[in-house]
Chains A and B, each alone.
Chain A
Amino acid sequence: MIHSLFLINSSGDIFLEKHWKSVVSRSVCDYFFEAQERATEAENVPPVIPTPHHYLLSVYRHKIFFVAVIQTEVPPLFVIEFLHRVVDTFQDYFGVCSEPVIKDNVVVVYEVLEEMLDNGFPLATESNILKELIKPPTILRTVVNTITGSTNVGDQLPTGQLSVVPWRRTGVKYTNNEAYFDVIEEIDAIIDKSGSTITAEIQGVIDACVKLTGMPDLTLSFMNPRLLDDVSFHPCVRFKRWESERILSFIPPDGNFRLLSYHVSAQNLVAIPVYVKHSISFRGSNSLGRFEITVGPKQTMGKTIEGVTVLSQMPRGVLNMSLTPSQGTHTFDPVTKMLSWDVGKINPQKLPSLKGTMSLQAGASKPDENPTINLQFKIQQLAISGLKVNRLDMYGEKYKPFKGIKYMTKAGKFQVRT
């Protein structure tokens, strides 16, 4: 099982270590540092590194490496999933997960880690339960604790810990009972030079914020559940019911949680809401290249596309760019060669464009790589897959809750090749 955990910042300092079994010397991280040096970028450090006596499994998030040390044959996905859970928990506790924040809350971090694993076995990883065991620090609580001498460690066994619904605590009370569901879809796509789609898929999630008194039992049904043939559920969802009736039936956790995530990959179902017209030429006179891109709406079901950003890594041979946008602002970093253009909203009547010239390194041959354009955008009130919630019902409690559903479509890894 998981032996130890080291937190390492991007400059290679170990700023926290925790051992669940015997102590493993931090010199084991030298193997990690070697791998880190070999990788050109932090993202490229391989997640599994063998050493003579241990294995190092790591995840890289928020510019911190979370490195777990294991000694025996342990499912690596289990370790990596757990590490991500640790990061999520820190974020949940402290709002952000960063080196200074972890250092500021080192004792809470230590206590939380101790609760999450016992002898390398996961103990409590549900944030609901953890928060009952160890209260997250807030300014108010710190003040109260100093005055009353009380602590931020709960002395009651968390109720959820052993019940059949471990994700929900008992005795929840709200004056305003409300349940919000956000259907968020991200489009991952690769568009080729000529504008045709090479691959496109939708990663969708339904995130919920449920603040309901007591033990409500909810059912959520869809207009077109057939879209959801590849789904992953929160443990609260009754799988049998879904299999037989295609209805989500569940006792929700308290607060924010991800109800389900799904994946739509059938090409014909994925509408591409934007297009990019580009003309990039490196073969100009006097070491000048021409650059022009235009962004326009495609299949948007009548909704506006907002928050559009264009990012492109230009080839090394590009020294500088002199461009004029028809709207928004743009920057080009001559060191990293990163072009970014913050477009904003797309007005279908007046398409935003960015054009101008590039100054190229004199004498250098035409770059052998073409820049790829990375697009970000948002569309409110639309789930691009067409998924629609039919109705939400509540059983088991008497009151009438306030219900809300919101849809949103975003770009995930949306790439246009040029």
Chain B
Amino acid sequence: MTDSKYFTTTKKGEIFELKAELNSDKKEKKKEAVKKVIASMTVGKDVSALFPDVVNCMQTDNLELKKLVYLYLMNYAKSQPDMAIMAVNTFVKDCEDPNPLIRALAVRTMGCIRVDKITEYLCEPLRKCLKDEDPYVRKTAAVCVAKLHDINAQLVEDQGFLDTLKDLISDSNPMVVANAVAALSEIAESHPSSNLLDLNPQSINKLLTALNECTEWGQIFILDCLANYTPKDDREAQSICERVTPRLSHANSAVVLSAVKVLMKFMEMLSKDLDYYGTLLKKLAPPLVTLLSAEPELQYVALRNINLIVQKRPEILKHEMKVFFVKYNDPIYVKLEKLDIMIRLASQANIAQVLAELKEYATEVDVDFVRKAVRAIGRCAIKVEQSAERCVSTLLDLIQTKVNYVVQEAIVVIKDIFRKYPNKYESVIATLCENLDSLDEPEARAAMIWIVGEYAERIDNADELLESFLEGFHDESTQVQLQLLTAIVKLFLKKPTETQELVQQVLSLATQDSDNPDLRDRGYIYWRLLSTDPVAAKEVVLAEKPLISEETDLIEPTLLDELICYIGTLASVYHKPPSAFVEGGRGVVHKSLPPRTASNESTESPETAPAGAPTGEQPDVIPTQGDLLGDLLNLDLGPPVSGPPLTTSSVQMGAVDLLGGGLDSLMGDEPEGIGDTNFGAPPPAAPARVGAPIGSGLSDLFDLTSGVGTLSGSYVPPKAVWLPAMKAKGLEISGTFTRQVGSISMDLQLTNKALQVMTDFAIQFNRNSFGLAPAAPLQVHAPLSPNQTVEISLPLNTVGSVMKMDPLNNLQVAVKNNIDIFYFSTLYPLHILFVEDGKMDRQMFLATWKDIPNENEAQFQIRDCSLNAEAVSTKLQSSNIFTIAKRNVEGQDMLYQSLKLTNGIWVLAELRIQPGNPSFMDLELSLKCRAPEVSQHVYQAYETILKN
């Protein structure tokens, strides 16, 4: 007897018959009828018409029948809300049943009935069940809160269920804890701002305890929740890691991967010198390898994650190359992923094996796989220089097979190899040319044309070859057309005598017969170049190309760091942050790896904390882009400082580079004009003041003449991150302000955390309170390559336009580079504005002091200063706060001081130094100024100078 009998129907009205059976007196018949109904439901038949009859069967002692009716209710209650109310009473009664199974079943089912009217009745039973004596009921109720939240979030908050749920995290039963965490995580996902899972060391400890005892699924929820926690220091991170590592041996691969996520994230906080760090690295490899022996679907997800892990920490799997070798009956999606990782792991040590494998793969059947394998050979050549020769000969072997798509792929990658190792492998060009006719894909055609153009002087019949392409010029794709245009121009520049006709033909095809603007414009540029100054044209078109980078297809470091926080999630499968694809724009919080902090330092001396950490100190004064744009767009972002040309794109081919470089000179940016012979060399400019403050040698001289006995400049606060890389497409800016002998400068440190080269930097300030403005354009002489950092000192003056800002010392800055324009704002310390001639005459001081009304006087306290009066005076003087007189009143030193701001405002100060505890002084500062709003900032300047 099987359930298939439930599908057999008699000819006349099936529903009608079921109805009769449902209303039968016999229990057994009723149950069979309900089963038939359920069976119809499971295959998608509409049996909602039977709703009242089925609900009538609910009042029963028979648990199976009850469950079946519940199943039915969950499915159809939505479509029959009024009828569903009929069931409420039974639910409420069942929630009090002595059997915990029935209590749990009732509360579970009620939560699944997505009808508003029912949810009102659900609250009371749910509250009881959350406090039920039986953990099975409690854990079911925890999930029910998440269900209810999904239906009516407001109700859940109003009823205080969230708090009850938070309490369950401390429940004695691990299963209840796990479910509470799961429910809270799900709720938190729709409320990213709410601090539902407020993790602290105590709750973390509870979770870690529950982790050992709950089910595998519960472990996943707890581990994912742990991953969101940021330990306060490396010791805590290590202790959590120690308790999580046993999970790496779990049979459930999802548990393993979630544990890997926690470890990868917290490892970031551990010092690399630690023994434990090395141990942990070693422990991570075996579980990752084991994931690859699981079912193919699991392998796929694991491989996508391993791809991220090997980019972040290649050392973990560097010896495990062989497990990524492809088996011929692996599903294609596994094969492609394995191949990707093989290339990432390829190194000089294992390249021979890898190449042998890749060659094997290139003869397989699956076209996609073969293509990728061929491409991989090229990538190996570029990555491991020692293997380049072998790779090229392998590629040539493959070209000999004459398999169409293999040949095309091989030519595309050989083009890249030429770029990487110029003048090394050109001997193979002849072989390539033999296969010209078999190329039918635009990418391969474009690559071949590029090769012909680039090496035109070595190919005897280059003109014939290119001419053959020209016949069908208008049927080619844009990529090929552009390439052909450039190649023929190159050919003309190399062999001008024979190819004049050809070049005219292509120029007229590109400029007159084409409606593609890119093609037309490029045609015109070449034309103009060739007609005005062929020498310049040669310089531009045949300029040396920058080498292409070693690794391709790397994920941007900032994105990679974010993705590491999402190991094991969909984000890690797609290699995109959740914000890029999660449905409905639910605000997704950006996750980032924790900064490395050592426990002993961070607690005691906040100044030594990493520069990135104390961003919280800055008041939130960054205006929205919209506000700023109005102001900044009016300002001219300054002439682009032309670095060396030919840097716009290193991955694309020559033609694009030429445009970038050529344009710079065409537009007459440099006074020398077109055709300048030193074109290509960095333009003459002031020497780079990298790092060192302006003319530090000069400061001595100045000091001597001015008679002020201080040799050092004013206090320089440490550099802080002003613009994190996340917000500026990979450009990170940190900086500080200095004042040295009368000139103010902004010391910037630019770091390129993106994958592409950055050029064309420019800077502009918004109007500000003291008219601060750059005194010279931002000079970044060399293009900033990935991961490179450059230090620049930007001289400032105070003759810019003035607008009062709030706070007074707020400065809004726009920085431009070849990628985009970025905005940030920062606060500058006021003491950079204290001028050198701020020493007031004694008499004048007394008169002014009296003259300024008393309501302009402001009092401040500076506590725990370790200096005596003498030292204070000297220290302040170096920042241009001058002591005019000194008095000793009742054992307390009184200093009278003056300072002047760049805009001529005088500030007078009376500083009372009273001994506080034995080694520290308490200072009392009275400031008088005609513009009292500066007092607060002057006080801050005092405090920073004295405390550092």
Contact = CB atoms under 8 A, between A and B. Distances in A.
A229 interface: yes
Contacts of B108: 118
A266 to B, nearest CB: 10
Given A75-B568, A230-B286, A370 B363 contact: yes
B643 interface: no
Contacts of A43: 296, 331
Interface residues of B, number: 104
A74 interface: yes
A232 B290 contact: yes
A23 B42 CA distance: 12
A16 B286 CA distance: 39
Nearest to A237: B249
Nearest to A369: B363
A233 B189 CA distance: 32
Contact of A199 (B35, B253, B325, B401): B325
Interface residues of A, number: 99
A238 to B, nearest CB: 10
Interface stretch (A147-155, A297-305, A324-332): A147-155
Contact of B300 (A48, A75, A188): A48
Given A44-B332, A107-B39, A157 B112 contact: no
Contacts of A15: 43
Given A104-B4, A263-B293, A368 B401 contact: yes
A125 B136 contact: no
A265 B3 contact: no
Contacts of A368: 363, 401, 403
A75 B143 contact: no
Interface in B97-111: 99-101, 108, 111
B217 to A, nearest CB: 4
Contacts of A399: none
A80 B332 CA distance: 18
A188 B254 contact: no
B746 interface: no
Interface in A51-90: 53, 55, 57-60, 71-78, 80-84
Nearest to A122: B217
A352 B108 CA distance: 63
A14 B44 CA distance: 9
A103 B39 CA distance: 9
Interface stretch (B202-210, B575-583, B615-623): B575-583
A267 B322 CA distance: 10
A198 B220 CA distance: 36
Contact of B328 (A78, A119, A372): A372
A76 B189 contact: no
A106 B582 contact: no
A401 interface: no
A76 B304 CA distance: 11
B136 A47 contact: no
Interface in B257-289: 257-258, 286-287, 289
A81 B298 contact: yes
B64 to A, nearest CB: 4
Given A55-B570, A114-B67, A263-B289, A258 B38 contact: no
Nearest to B246: A239
B28 A121 contact: no
Given A77-B568, A107-B68, A149 B28 contact: yes
B569 A73 contact: yes
A126 B290 CA distance: 23
Interface string A265-287: 10100000000000000000000
Interface stretch (A161-169, A207-215, A342-350, A389-397): A161-169
Contacts of A369: 363-365
A290 to B, nearest CB: 20
Nearest to A60: B297
Nearest to B401: A368
B327 A413 contact: yes
B431 to A, nearest CB: 18
Nearest to B174: A164
Given A22-B114, A46-B333, A105-B2, A265 B323 contact: yes
A355 interface: no
B785 interface: no
Given A21-B150, A106-B6, A156-B101, A73 B327 contact: no
A175 to B, nearest CB: 30
Nearest to B137: A157
A378 interface: no
A234 B251 contact: yes
Contact of B75 (A19, A48, A75, A199): A19
Nearest to A111: B67
B629 interface: no
A261 interface: yes
A48 B64 contact: no
A402 interface: no
Contacts of B329: 374, 413, 415
A154 B101 CA distance: 10
Contacts of A96: none
Interface in B287-329: 287, 289-290, 293, 295-298, 300-302, 320, 322-323, 325, 327-329
B581 A105 contact: no
B637 interface: no
Contact of A157 (B78, B100, B224, B357): B100
A103 B7 CA distance: 9
B257 A77 contact: yes
Contacts of B68: 107, 111
Given A157-B136, A162-B135, A230 B364 contact: no
Nearest to B571: A73
Given A75-B257, A164-B213, A230-B289, A47 B325 contact: no
A400 interface: no
Contacts of A106: 3-4, 6, 38-39, 42-43
B253 A77 contact: yes
Given A188-B293, A368-B363, A75 B251 contact: no
B570 A59 contact: no
A26 interface: yes
Given A26-B44, A84-B295, A107-B6, A417 B573 contact: no
B63 interface: yes
Given A76-B569, A162-B135, 10 more contacts: A72-B186, A80-B295, A109-B42, A110-B38, A154-B63, A157-B100, A188-B293, A188-B327, A230-B287, A265-B289
17 contacts: A48-B300, A73-B569, A80-B297, A81-B254, A103-B7, A107-B3, A111-B71, A151-B64, A156-B101, A162-B136, A188-B293, A190-B327, A192-B356, A203-B293, A233-B249, A261-B251, A263-B293
